[in-house]
Amino acid sequence: MQPPEASARASCMPRSRSLSLHLLGVTAIVLALAGAAVVGTVAAVLRWGPELVWEHMLENNAERVVDGLRFNAAGRPYEVQLKRKMLAAYEVLTRDCVYRVLDTDGTVLMSSDRARSAYALPGADFDPALRRFALTQDGEKLQVITEGFEHDGRRMYVQVMRSERLQRIALDDDSQRVRSIIVGASIAAMLLFSVVVVLTLHRLLKPLRRAAAAAAAIDTDNLSTRLSLQEVPRELAPLFHSVNLALDRLEQGYRQQREFLATAAHELKTPLALMRGQVELGRISESGDHAMLLQDIDQMARQVHQLLHLAEASERQNYAMQDIDPYDILAQAGAQLERLAQRRRVRLVFIAADMHGGGHGRARIHADPGALSVLSKNLLENAIHHSPEGGAVTVHADESGLSVRDEGPGIPPEAMPHLYERFWRGPHRRDEGAGLGLSICAEIAKAHGWQLRAANVPGGALFEVLFRPAPAAQGAPQAASEHGAALPPAARPAAAS
């Protein structure tokens, strides 16, 4: 029995044509047209075929008689030389097979049945223009053809008659029986072909039915199921493979969400337990415990705030893209973190955009201003926490990218692969963050198609956001160690703003 949500999804699915019924319908139409064409062709052959055969036989016999005629010195035919079988037919079957040689007046010059008159329609004289006609004699239908020829400039005609009785004997065929056999065979062939097509379609669609059953069984507790590619037609294999890749991404995202929820619960569990212990012991009134409780509350509020930022950054539909000046966004983020920098005794050094971009007003990019502000604040806050007292954080932004450089100890090589992992914190961090700041930056960069990378430079660490990365570098944010690399604009000396 399907779960309620599966039934609801099935009821909400739009109705679409069945592929099986569509293929069967098209096949039935094609078969009907092909069958009609076959039956029509057979009927035409049976209807007009004998007539054409008869016409050909009469013409052939007349031609042989003309070729076999022999003439005397006066130009009068006196005999016909034919093959023995044909000559015997003309001599014996005088009522079914006859030839007559005529002059232009219809006078019989020579005949196989020793007749004295030409064949003509009842009540009419010989008409040389009437090439083909039928007669009835003693209840038997006769077919006659008249062909003209010339000999020594003299016009003559030959008439050849064959009876339908002789034609039936010659063909040795019962037309009605042949018609029934041919039509019956055609119908049987079409039925057999239909059965073969139906079975073939059933077999070809079997992988689709199996895939549909497998897909229906996939839910949040069974995301590891994949569509089988066994016996799948080559044309459908790319579709099945794409669905499996989508399921892989779905399973990976679902697993990451579950791990994220578990880690978030663990991060919030410890301060909640401490706060509960303090409340149960009734020691909140003491000044030290009161300050510690407030610190725990602030820490939890910070974690919740970062969790909300991460959730918003992970949803692409939350972004409202517009043309903005990245330097203005970075300057606003610096102003908001000025008090933190003062507490840490760290200077914020802004490199003016017109020093390395040709004009502050022309540095425009297409991005979400709120997301870029969150990214800028996280990178600045991270740099402030890692800079020593009296140090400086150098920042720069233009239409090509954004960079933040600190003067701290740099990023250890073993930490490079973990910079953007959620809840990961280095062993020597001085702040009390939840380890989500760089993860949020990575999600924002990924949503915009930017490249986020980290590198160690002389005297500190450098984080860069490339708004226009090279085609080969586009994709997920990167963390890369670039010791000794050429310094970007943010790493060059500049005057403090």
- What the block records as the tokens of 31 is 């078969």
Residue 460 and residue 193: Cα distance in Å, rounded? 79
Q: Are 488 and 464 in contact (CB under 8 A)?
A: yes
Place of tokens 């739009």: 14
Question: Which SS3 state, helix, strand or coil, does residue 150 take?
Answer: strand
Residue 426 and residue 194: Cα distance in Å, rounded? 71
What phi, psi does 127 have (nearest 5°)? -125, 105
Per-residue pLDDT of the chain (497 residues), as tens digits, is: 444 544 444 444 445 556 567 666 777 777 777 777 777 776 776 666 667 777 888 899 999 999 999 999 888 999 999 888 888 888 888 888 899 999 998 899 999 988 889 999 988 989 988 989 988 888 888 899 999 999 988 999 999 998 888 877 766 555 556 667 767 777 787 788 778 777 777 777 777 777 778 777 777 667 777 777 777 777 777 888 888 888 888 777 777 666 666 656 655 666 667 666 666 666 555 555 666 666 666 666 665 665 665 666 556 666 788 898 898 888 998 998 999 899 989 999 988 765 444 444 556 888 888 888 888 988 998 899 889 999 999 999 888 899 999 998 888 888 888 787 776 766 555 455 566 778 888 888 888 889 999 999 988 999 999 987 655 444 444 444 333 333 343 333 333 33
Cα distances (Å, whole numbers) of residue 79 to 55, 84, 310: 25, 14, 115
Q: Which of 301, 407, 410, 392 is nearest to 341 (CA)?
A: 392
CA torsion through residues 324, 326, 332, 336, sign: positive
Domain with CATH 3.30.565.10 in the chain: 315-491
Q: Which CATH architecture has domain 315-491?
A: 2-Layer Sandwich (3.30)
Residue 163 and residue 139: Cα distance in Å, rounded? 11
Q: Are 106 and 120 in contact (CB under 8 A)?
A: yes
Q: Which amino acid is at 407?
A: E
Residue 404 and residue 146: Cα distance in Å, rounded? 110
For the sheet containing 132-137, what is the strand order?
A: 108-111, 97-102, 154-163, 140-151, 132-137
Give the number of residues written for the chain. Answer: 497
Q: Are 54 and 167 in contact (CB under 8 A)?
A: yes
